[in-house]
Amino acid sequence: MLKWILMKRKLFLYVAIFFIAITSISSSKADLTDAKEIIKKASENRYGKTSYGVMKMQIIRPKWSRTIEMKNWSMGDDYSLVLLTAPAKEKGQVFLKRKKEMWNWIPTISRMVKLPPSMMSQGWMGSDYSNDDIINQNSVVDNYTHKLLGSDKIGEYMCYKIQSTPKPESNIVWGKKINWVSKDGFFMMKSESYDEDGILVRTEIASNIKSFGTKKLPSMFTIIPADKENNKTIFEIINIKFDVKLDDSFFSQANMKRVK
């Protein structure tokens, strides 16, 4: 009788181990093949729920270059506010994103401008970022349909290679994006943006991974247009804090005129 009980317990233990192993394998496969979840983790790692950052953007052209410094506040997918702090000519300008609308406060002429849809594909502040990128920068998760294409190595990181196609209702200027997300850390290491005809428009490459508080993320992003030789924009995060106290009242037209 005792022997039969022991045998029964062993059998139960083997069955339990078997099901745990199967569950672990299934979970692992789910993690590796769920393209939307991978993109979501990369987006959360880069933007967080709320953030405040000090940043610098260098626009490089064959015959000239200029640097723009800024402060940035963001909350979720719907709200962001950018205050330009240098150079002197642009200092004090503010850009506000509220959901699908974008506003620009120009203090030198005391004018508030709403950017129309026709300006979405134009370069933001003359850079290789578009106004559309500013509006939709951290809403890539829900505005696109994601498909895992395989794996690639970018620099020293093995990455998931994911194709992201905009949903018909999203009103995004790109025909598709191909993103490379590192398997270690979920860093968005590379992104290619294509037009509606499938022609490559630009490439964004992340580098210089640093620690900001409890987070690690790339601190430098180089944007290279495909059809303009020796043109590029380098965007650098100088410092950033996550989970700062913000609410939607901060992201208002009234606050655009007084934020510092």
User: Any idea what the CATH number is for the domain that residue 242 is in?
Assistant: 2.50.20.10
What is the C-alpha to C-alpha distance for residues 38 and 208, in angstroms, rounded to an integer?
21
Q: Give the pLDDT of residue 168.
A: 86
Report yes or no on 52 lying in a domain.
yes
Report yes or no on 11 lying in a domain.
no
What is the C-alpha to C-alpha distance for residues 204 and 189, in angstroms, rounded to an integer?
8
Report yes or no on 234 lying in a domain.
yes
List, for residues 99-140, the tens digit of each pLDDT value. Answer: 888 999 999 999 999 988 778 778 899 999 887 777 666 567
Is the separation of the CB atoms in 154 and 190 below 8 Å? yes
- Sites in the chain below the pLDDT cut of 70: 1-33, 135-139
Report yes or no on 19 lying in a domain.
no
Domain that includes residue 234, residue range: 35-256
Report yes or no on 13 lying in a domain.
no
Report yes or no on 64 lying in a domain.
yes
Report yes or no on 149 lying in a domain.
yes
The helices-and-strands tally (H runs, E runs) of the chain is 5, 13
Report yes or no on 44 lying in a domain.
yes
Q: Give the pLDDT of residue 116.
A: 86
pTM: 0.82
Ordered DSSP codes for 49-108: SEEEEEEEEEEE-SS-EEEEEEEEEEETTTEEEEEEEESTTTTT-EEEEETTEEEEEETT
Looking at the structure of the chain, the number of domains it has is: 1
What is the C-alpha to C-alpha distance for residues 205 and 228, in angstroms, rounded to an integer?
16
